[in-house]
A and B are shown apart, each in its own frame.
Chain A
Amino acid sequence: MEIKFNWIGGATFILSIGNLTIACDPVLCEKGTVQDFFWFKSKRIEQPIYSENDFEAIDLWLITHNHEDHLDEIGMSKISDTAEIVCNKNSYTILKNNKKNKLSVLDRKETKTFFIKDYTIEIKAIPAIHGINPLSAFFAGKVNGYF
């Protein structure tokens, strides 16, 4: 079975295991984009590298949280309506508002099993720290990691 890992940039990657495709946090804004969170700023310093069809066949999306440097407008448009989506609580609303229906909200330490194609996949949400230092991590709040 072939395993491929394609890092797009930032927190965005596509993991292909055989014909199963899992992707994480679609953030595809241009290099130089600044997201202003009032207290904090986030600046992209490299261009994301991807082709338009990279996201066509994603079976499962993992969304860590709803900040724009992890889930932006361009990225949102790449999530197909047929894909399963695992997200944390605070990203649920924005995904729902964008008509993404196959949503599974996982709180930290919760697990969910998916049966996609011929695969059985168990996804566990694990505590993750988001921020460049403890202060920004505190303000950024709880985000999910996935195992």
Chain B
Amino acid sequence: MNYNLNFFITILPYAFALHNLEEVISMGKWTKSIPKSIHQEVTTGQFAIAVGLFTLLGFVVILAKNFFPTREIYFLFVSGFAGMLFLNTFFPHLIATIYLKKYAPGIVTALLINLPLSIFILNSIHKLQILNIQQISLSVLFGGLIGVVLAYLFLKVGYFFTTKRWK
């Protein structure tokens, strides 16, 4: 179980990268096709920069395993990361797909890869008694919140690099 857990934690950022790639491919077009009240229009470049930074951060968290002060702190970060992907499957991908009754960028990898992978990781961390249920719940919650804040910030960075405002 522990061996499997380490393996699946290692592939977590790759799954995240694949998911981000699926999003990048059609996000620009998709945001143009839906009401602005649901999602602000973004260009492919802006979104690519944002998710590129996100992906990089995901790899840093997982690859920096040996630099965390304790094993517990590392798994709090892993739970946060997995929790963010878990919540992200529902908010916004699944809800957007159901509400708009059409494909939402990222829904395929979110449902087929991120959701089972994050559930397996969170469940394993609990079963192996690495973290207790309260710690996992808080990590998932914070992971989701931090994810939203980072998405906002990274989209701002993307906007800065890809949008020219001229007089």
Contacts and interface: CB of A to CB of B under 8 A. Distances in A.
Interface stretch (A90-98, A100-108, A131-139): A131-139
Nearest to A37: B43
B43 A36 contact: yes
Interface in B41-85: 43-46, 48
A132 B45 contact: no
Given A133-B161, A135-B161, A136-B161, A39 B166 contact: no
A42 B164 contact: yes
Interface string B11-34: 000000000000000001000000
B82 to A, nearest CB: 31
B43 A39 contact: yes
A44 interface: yes
Contacts of A133: 161
Chain A's interface size range is 20 to 34
B166 A10 contact: yes
Interface in A39-53: 39-46
Chain A facing B: main interface SS: loop
Contact of B28 (A38, A42, A45, A46): A38
Most buried by B among A38, A40, A46: A40
Contacts of B102: none
A10 B164 CA distance: 11
Interface residues of B, number: 13
A39 B48 CA distance: 9
B164 A132 contact: yes
B44 A45 contact: no
B101 interface: no
B165 A39 contact: no
B162 interface: yes
Nearest to A27: B166
Contact of A41 (B48, B163, B167): B163
A9 interface: yes
B33 to A, nearest CB: 13
A41 B161 contact: no
A69 interface: yes
Nearest to A35: B164
A130 to B, nearest CB: 9
21 contacts: A10-B166, A10-B167, A36-B43, A37-B43, A38-B43, A39-B43, A39-B45, A40-B43, A40-B163, A40-B164, A41-B162, A43-B163, A45-B165, A46-B167, A69-B166, A133-B161, A135-B161, A135-B162, A136-B162, A136-B164, A139-B45
Given A37-B43, A39-B162, 8 more contacts: A38-B43, A38-B44, A38-B45, A39-B44, A40-B43, A40-B163, A44-B166, A131-B164
Interface of B: 28, 43-46, 48, 161-167
Interface of A: 9-10, 36-46, 69, 131-133, 135-136, 139
